[in-house]
Amino acid sequence: MTPEAQRPPSIRDVAGRAGVAISSASAALNDKPGVSDETRARILSVAKDLGYVPSWRGRSLSAKRAFTVGLVVERDPDVMGDDPFFGAFVGGIEESLGPRGYALAVRVSRDARAAATGYRELAGNRRVDGVFLNELLVDDPRPESMLRWGMPAVGINPGPGEFVFPTVRQDGTKAIVEALRWLARIGHRTIAHVAGPLRYVHAVERLEAFRSVLLDLGLDPSLVTEGDFTYQGGYEAADRLLAVSPRPTAVFCANDLTAVGVMNRALDLGMKVPADLSVIGYDGIAMGGYTRPTLTTIKTSPRALGRQSARLLLDLIEGSLPMDAQASVPEARLVVRSSAGPASTI
């Protein structure tokens, strides 16, 4: 890859060819005052002739900024493909990043230890100017450590209460309330929940919402089993739930993948969905519209979440945002499809 590797023109080349000082070239190129119109025009034209593109490395060193933000995803590379959140979230981030000249550095780590290393590298290196804190854990050490490193960050759905960095939230509680109340209204009395791993704040939030609504409705809120946000986890959770008596007639799942797993297990056991078992998911992934029956779910907006959080992060980096800023995207909505409905035996 070296044959005709002539290095790209630098600002010196431009200045030289235009017969001006480097500083003038810099000012002209950056639309800064202090250069006569005529000189500016000449510099610009030379730059164009040469095909000059400012080196991001030089700029970066000088500006003490990487013009890059980091996203660390803690997930086994093997299941990365099954995660629709990732792509949509990245898509949203890019919408904000691109126009402002920033790039996104992605790091995939298979476990918490590797993820910590990932953050440390990105932050210690100053390879990025800020990071996204996503899928937060209860007592997550990352926010504190980013603060200690002096690394700007934004928290995505950090749960209720204070957070040391700006946050972006999408409330899903109201939609959960609506979904569960609806289930009760159409006759369900035994409603179960397949939670996500309770080390995640979003898993806890959904569980809390479930409990509080059921209590409110005078129903038993204790029919809960912990899944792992995967299809397989849902499939297996279904077996546990369907073994209890009285058997639940409806299940609210912490995410869609789990819900599809539950639904398929029920179907595989010869049950009818929703007649024998109603299933409701959470996320609103496209797949929910492709399964049969189609999945009733609570639809979130990963893309908007990405877009907003990137906006906040850049504002924070550039100093125009207080640390306690809070943003939110429109609440998650209940999307009624066909996996939930009245129980056959009321």
If one asks whether residue 101 binds DNA (CB under 7 A), the answer comes out as no
From 17, 20, 259, 298, residue interacting with DNA (rule: CB under 7 A): 20
End-to-end CA distance of the chain: 72
Residue 163 binds which of its own copies, DNA, none (CB < 5-8 A, kind-dependent): none
With vertex at residue 47, the alpha carbon angle to CA 43 and CA 48, rounded to the nearest 5 degrees, is: 120
Q: Give the separation between CA 241 and CA 244, rounded to whole angstroms.
A: 6
If one asks whether residue 148 binds DNA (CB under 7 A), the answer comes out as no
Contact call for residues 79 and 65 (beta carbons, < 8 A): no
CB of 188 to its own copies, least distance (A): 24
If one asks whether residue 26 binds its own copies (CB under 8 A), the answer comes out as no
Nearer to DNA among residue 67 and residue 182 (C-beta): 67
How is residue 65 written in tokens? 């900024």
If one asks whether residue 38 binds its own copies (CB under 8 A), the answer comes out as no
From 16, 44, 50, 54, residue interacting with DNA (rule: CB under 7 A): 54
From 41, 45, 48, 63, residue interacting with DNA (rule: CB under 7 A): 63
If one asks whether residue 23 binds DNA (CB under 7 A), the answer comes out as yes
From 41, 45, 48, 58, residue interacting with DNA (rule: CB under 7 A): 58
Q: Give the separation between CA 78 and CA 111, rounded to whole angstroms.
A: 12
User: Would you give the binding string for its own copies spanning residues 81-110, x where CB under 8 A is met?
Assistant: xxxxxxxxxxxx-xx--x----xxxxxxx-
Tokens 């007592």 label which residue? 139
From 61, 138, 275, 286, residue interacting with DNA (rule: CB under 7 A): 61
Residue 82 binds which of DNA, its own copies, none (CB < 5-8 A, kind-dependent): its own copies
If one asks whether residue 60 binds its own copies (CB under 8 A), the answer comes out as yes
If one asks whether residue 141 binds its own copies (CB under 8 A), the answer comes out as no
Contact call for residues 22 and 28 (beta carbons, < 8 A): no
What phi-psi label fits residue 331: left (phi over 0), alpha (psi between -120 and 50 degrees) or beta? beta
Angle formed by the axes of helices 173-185 and 201-216, nearest 10°: 40
If one asks whether residue 303 binds its own copies (CB under 8 A), the answer comes out as yes
If one asks whether residue 26 binds DNA (CB under 7 A), the answer comes out as yes
Nearer to its own copies among residue 206 and residue 303 (C-beta): 303
DSSP string for residues in 104-169:
EEEEEESSHHHHHHHHHHHHHTT--SEEEE-SPBTT-SHHHHHHHHT--EEEES--SS--SS-EEE
If one asks whether residue 27 binds DNA (CB under 7 A), the answer comes out as yes
If one asks whether residue 77 binds its own copies (CB under 8 A), the answer comes out as yes
With vertex at residue 25, the alpha carbon angle to CA 20 and CA 31, rounded to the nearest 5 degrees, is: 140
Site residues (vs DNA, CB under 7 A): 7, 10-12, 19-24, 26-27, 29-30, 32-36, 38-40, 52, 54-55, 57-59, 61-64
